[in-house]
Amino acid sequence: MKDKLTEILCRNSSEIMFAGVGNVLRSDDGAGVYIVSSIKARGKFSTLLVEASIENYISKINSLAPQILIIADCIDFNREPGYAGLVPIDQIHEFDISSHNISLRRVAEHLKMEVYVIGVQPADLRVGEHLTPPVKKASDEIINMVNEIIGSIREE
């Protein structure tokens, strides 16, 4: 994942937005919001916390017009809890998305940019305000990876 993420983030001319998706009151479903709220945005990198209703932010995201949107969310990859992956939005149909009114794939059909998803396999989606240990660990690793890559990129 790190190599692909580095390649995406290091594209010279691309404005990149991270969008945090998920319900912070449903344990691991809040992983995307947790990740994006900890990304140190600067320069060509921006963040947007959309929580559970990304469909309500389609117009805003399009008006901000990043060239690349990276959505962070909890995704059922059918793997062990805490597994993390980075996939283009067109591959998202292979996975079961957790708790959205509309699928991320359907949302992306209305977005005018390249879209990727950083997903973390949940362990628990019951009511609760804390991430489970494997999801917190994976989320912290993603945060550190993203912040390290962003910090290593010199502004033009």
Confidence (pLDDT) at 92: 75
Residue 27's domain is classified under what CATH number?
3.40.50.1450
Asked whether residue 24 is assigned to any structural domain, the reply reads yes
Asked whether residue 156 is assigned to any structural domain, the reply reads no
Estimate the crossing angle of helix 133-152 against helix 2-9, to 10 degrees. Answer: 40
pLDDT at 33 over 50: yes
- Among 72, 54, 154, 49, which residue's Cα sits nearest to residue 119? 72
Q: Give the residue numbers spanning the domain of 15.
A: 2-151
State how far the Cα of 16 lies from the Cα of 81, in Å rounded to an integer: 28
Structure-token pair, residue 47: 């963040």
Total domain count, the chain: 1
Asked whether residue 21 is assigned to any structural domain, the reply reads yes
Look up the pTM and report it. Answer: 0.90
Predicted confidence band at 100 (pLDDT cuts at 50, 70, 90)? low
Confidence (pLDDT) at 95: 52
